[in-house]
Amino acid sequence: DIQMTQSPSSLSASVGDRVTITCRASQGIRNDLGWYQQKPGKAPKRLIYSASSLQSGVPSRFSGSGSGTEFTLTISSLQPEDFATYYCLQHNTYPCTFGQGTKLDIK
């Protein structure tokens, strides 16, 4: 199975900060990766697909980049509603696999 390693596992930041989360794949997955945001008690919501395409309706402060084995999710200026847990998902090879998550909380 392809292992997806997310870093950091947790992160404290302030409103207005620029934040970057990384996912590394144990083997190349082209750009077959999505990023998801999950708030407590809620279903995940996809933010980014195909590594760098912004899901319709998602604010432009979210962006994704990368290809192959290394991917990043960047939030350019944190807003109060962005404090949540973020996951990556590779769908290049079955079984699809998620990263272990990055919990973003308020400093």
Partner 1 sequence: EVQLVESGGGLVQPGGSLRLSCAASGFTFSSFWMTWVRQAPGKELEWVANIKQDGGEKYYVDSVKGRFTISRDNAENSLYLQMDSLRAEDTAIYYCATGATAAKWGQGTLVTVSS
Chain residues that interact with partner 1, rule: CB under 8 A? 1, 34, 36, 38, 42-46, 49, 55, 87, 89, 91, 94-101
Contacts of 40 (CB under 8 A, 6+ apart): none
Cβ–Cβ under 8 Å, residues 35 and 15: no
In the bound state with partner 1, the residue whose beta carbon lies nearer, of 49 and 69, is 49
In the bound state with partner 1, the residue whose beta carbon lies nearer, of 9 and 79, is 9
In the bound state with partner 1, the residue whose beta carbon lies nearer, of 75 and 89, is 89
CB 16, min distance to partner 1, A: 28
Nearest by Cα to 3 from 102, 88, 103, 104: 88
User: Sign (positive/negative) of CA torsion 83, 4, 21, 35?
Assistant: negative
CB 95, min distance to partner 1, A: 4
CB 54, min distance to partner 1, A: 13
Cβ–Cβ under 8 Å, residues 100 and 9: yes
